[in-house]
Amino acid sequence: PYDMLPEGMNMDEMPQSTCTTVQVEEERPPPRDHLVWSFCTALYGNIFCLGLLAFFFSVKSRDRKVLGDHSGALSYGSTAKCLNITALVLNIIVIVIVILIVVLVVKAYQYQYHTSLLHGH
């Protein structure tokens, strides 16, 4: 409960021991859980089940965030991010390798076709 100041007294005249100092903690932005990114990785680029693992860690991060565990949410979110990045890089490498193989096979067939025409086979 708050006490009223006595008549004729202002805040400057009050002893400092009765004043309370309140420290306000700085607002931290909520940790990112990367749930949508993990969901897309699980659906479209689930190489070595990394997308599924990323989705699992994203859900755990969201659970920790709801419970108010900032450091736990940050840890799980960071793990989900690393798994998503790893899955993305591996998917890009696989796509590049597949494109190279297709190009090399097409070039080989073109070469074989042209040499067979020149030799009359």
**What's the confidence (pLDDT) of residue 29?**
86
* Pairwise CA distance, residues 79 & 38, whole Å: 11
Instruction: Give the pLDDT confidence of 8-26 residue by residue, as tens digits.
Output: 666 666 665 555 666 666 7
The residues spanned by each domain of the chain are: 45-61+76-119
**What's the confidence (pLDDT) of residue 119?**
81
**What's the confidence (pLDDT) of residue 25?**
65
Residues 58/33, Cβ–Cβ less than 8 Å: yes
Spans in the chain with pLDDT lower than 50:
none
Whole-model pTM? 0.70
**What's the confidence (pLDDT) of residue 21?**
62
